[in-house]
Chains A and B, each alone.
Chain A
């Protein structure tokens, strides 16, 4: 574990961080400590970011990356430690102070007013005078200049909410640059992008680098680190465990550093053993209140023992499809057959009834739907099953039975911390997801609907969740999986559907699929979407 940059492991002390050669520092963090109550989110963290480079910070969820960046951007103040910007010690106690120091941040979830134009969003909070007209004129010319310099082209008079996600992200970058950022922090920027949009983003980041802007890229995707960064720092359990020069490291080494052990990611999928179709969808349509077809004439089936993966940029009807299949949303045309029960517009489904048909559902959005964040873990663990007789021996819910079952599921699915009384919101994303999977898989479903099984989940948990899904498949469950992660689709699916604009535009065997074609199908669809909106 020696550091190729300094010849020392970062853990051995701050001396190991400062390189003897290379460009001068843009940002230097020394001995940063931050505790949240008993939890030490950052322990003696050092970080040295060279000016004009792209510096990756990787780590699992909960490793302390976001805490560190929040300290740098002034959301938190460190309990101890020093921050140097361009060699000078600064105190950053608010995001205004960070902006003043030339630090800009692009958040994972955009901080944009959707009804404003791009120009208005960029100006918001940075108007040059009392009159909007004058500010707008000044901002327009400055934005033009920025766009030309960095290839950041966005229709500045477009309504932000109507822009594709990739463009919205560019607006965020423009906002930061407009405020004079020389250091740009991007927090998990590719989570919402297609592969093609990701490539475009990386082009922009490289252009920024060429112009001398320093980029700090926070991610848990190692492919991106390898592709775009110059240096990379690895965090684990709140500590900075290694610094590497990207060209001298590998995905495997970084993964091992992140997780603290070797990661085996070559899934051995058992041979196909498909049975009868457990889930049949025929000419299904769902029409929105405005008369738009959210799901448009969709037909497919999922057989027992088969994983069907639905790929696609999010927002192309996958969510509505899952909601319809699980009985939450009524359908407008066509029919769904679940284990022999027919759901039609005339005979709508009901989530409780669908559950009784041995159909389990792991929703795409665990915060909005999969659990109640204010509930205790043991309360969330019976969500949807709280009416089962075994929980209701009399008129009251049996706390003992529910608590015991929660502990058992937490044991089986390695959910941490093993506290049935913990508030669901206080568990990490990965543990929340494992708890939901445990709840659904434990009911031995014959059909499993699962959306974004590993969104916001750390590497260790991803492995575990994938293994669980495959085991369920081998046990003869029919699984329909919606995911925006192409790699996940490729890894798990037996058959792959691509959804675009409510329709299924491709239905192919896993053997016939490759990442590029799939990405193109999703991205072509995406370009089509831009054309339709009249942008660019």
Chain B
């Protein structure tokens, strides 16, 4: 009996503060976090003798100021949406999936294998669903192994998914160097996919209707990303499976009372998580590279953790956070190009600050904001019962 608050003593007076309204929690605080990150980045830029204001202008212009920049920004955004959703769905079940990187890698392998096998025999309208299926299957199965170890053997999912990233990397190197490499070349890459095995670029789509825009890696996968966002929202908040996932995530004991099997929920949510991460492979392999190669995941899986945290594990928030990270990636690249003193590493550091402040330290300013808000409001929790 001890240690649980039963509400027997009037209200929940345990912390004495009123929770922040949603617009502050999921709107204002992330914005402030990003501002802090930019402020610190600005200080660093000042230290190396450049004008931070100028740097910001270059970044924003580079990411959003012209067609090519926008295309690249949205292309990065696509990857972040997938990995962000992947982290979010696991998070709703109370699981921290650190393995998005490896699942994306293996998902890409699935895409590559499917297309290498069938791109000469099947038309594009069959190859694309096939590749989606392969990405989901490979990513999902790869996430299912740590999920099984967590659900039925009690191995902590954070540890196993981290290790599975290394395993994925090793598998890919082995396969690319020894098996899938196109004979007669030095770099470990497969042969190029045929026309049917490529997801159309957006500039090609525009071309069909007669509008000419700059060529960028942005492709139709972004549409699929948006569809995934909507579908995941319905799944999490409107289906009985999502209901069970959230029940397990919030209160495992209550979910067991309700007849839910937590182990099954862990399996289900991780498989979906891995499947979503695997979609990065769709964007990269089938959408942009058109061949199987190494290191195409480029840290998207890890950044997905920050994206999901910043987006508060909600698809809409994840889209916004993905856009921000898209801007940072693309704008950062431009910055390194335009300001020679700011190296590529410097840009990574700036991105790191944003991840640090909006990911790892996402809740750092929450107590201060709560205190400030309470002072302005007259404080305290809002016990609805007192009026009944």
Question: Which residues of A come within 8 Å of B, CB atoms?
Answer: 34-41, 61-67, 70, 75-77, 79, 108-110, 165, 168, 187-188, 191-192, 218, 237-238, 314-315, 326-328, 350-353, 355, 361, 363, 365-375, 379, 382-384, 386-387, 391-392, 395-397, 399, 416-417, 422, 425-432, 455-456
Contacts and interface: CB of A to CB of B under 8 A. Distances in A.
B123 interface: no
A428 B259 contact: no
A455 B382 CA distance: 22
Nearest to B385: A428
B9 interface: yes
Contacts of B10: 61-67
Contacts of B4: 109, 365, 367-368
Contact of B257 (A109, A369, A373, A428): A369
Interface residues of B, number: 44
Contacts of A37: 18, 377, 380, 382
Nearest to B7: A429
A392 B380 CA distance: 39
B320 to A, nearest CB: 23
Question: Which of B2, B377, B386 is the most central at the interface, judged by chain A CB atoms within 10 Å of its CB?
Answer: B386
B384 interface: yes
Nearest to B239: A396
A35 B380 contact: yes
A417 B384 contact: yes
Contacts of B259: 327, 350-353, 355, 384, 387
Interface in B33-76: none
Interface in B213-272: 234, 238-240, 243-244, 246-247, 250-251, 253-259
A456 B251 contact: no
Contacts of B234: 396
Contacts of A79: 378
B312 to A, nearest CB: 13
B388 interface: yes
Given A110-B2, A355-B259, A428 B239 contact: no
B238 A397 contact: yes
B257 A38 contact: no
Contact of B380 (A36, A363, A367, A456): A36
B12 interface: yes
Question: Which of B8, B243, B387 is the most central at the interface, judged by chain A CB atoms within 10 Å of its CB?
Answer: B8
Contacts of A367: 4-7
A371 B2 CA distance: 19
Nearest to A391: B240
Interface in B1-23: 1-13, 16, 18
Given A75-B13, A372-B247, A61 B240 contact: no
B16 A386 contact: no
Interface in B365-388: 377-388
A328 B238 contact: no
A44 to B, nearest CB: 15
Contacts of B256: 328, 351
B1 A315 contact: yes
Given A192-B1, A368-B251, A372-B250, A328 B257 contact: yes
Contact of B8 (A108, A326, A368): A108
Nearest to A62: B385
Contacts, number: 188
A361 B243 contact: no
A109 B243 CA distance: 31
B238 A368 contact: no
Given A66-B9, A76-B379, 19 more contacts: A36-B381, A37-B377, A38-B387, A41-B11, A62-B385, A64-B386, A66-B11, A67-B10, A70-B13, A108-B8, A238-B386, A372-B254, A375-B246, A379-B243, A397-B238, A427-B384, A428-B385, A429-B7, A456-B6
22 contacts: A36-B18, A36-B382, A36-B386, A38-B382, A41-B386, A61-B9, A62-B388, A63-B386, A66-B13, A67-B11, A76-B380, A109-B5, A110-B2, A168-B2, A355-B259, A369-B251, A372-B250, A387-B240, A392-B240, A397-B239, A417-B384, A428-B384
B388 A416 contact: yes
Nearest to B382: A37
Nearest to A218: B9
Question: Which of B255, B257, B380 is the most central at the interface, judged by chain A CB atoms within 10 Å of its CB?
Answer: B257
Question: Which of B10, B244, B250, B387 is the most central at the interface, judged by chain A CB atoms within 10 Å of its CB?
Answer: B10
A309 B151 CA distance: 37
Nearest to B249: A374
Contacts of B383: 36, 39, 41, 62, 426, 428
B388 A351 contact: no
A39 B243 contact: no
B9 A188 contact: yes
B11 A384 contact: no
Contacts of A61: 7-10, 385
A109 B3 CA distance: 6
A383 B248 CA distance: 12
Nearest to B387: A39
Nearest to A385: B258
Nearest to B258: A384
B379 A62 contact: no
A188 B8 contact: yes
A76 B14 CA distance: 11
Contacts of A40: 386
Contacts of A192: 1-2
Given A67-B11, A374-B250, A432-B7, A351 B258 contact: yes
A381 B385 CA distance: 18
A416 B6 CA distance: 18
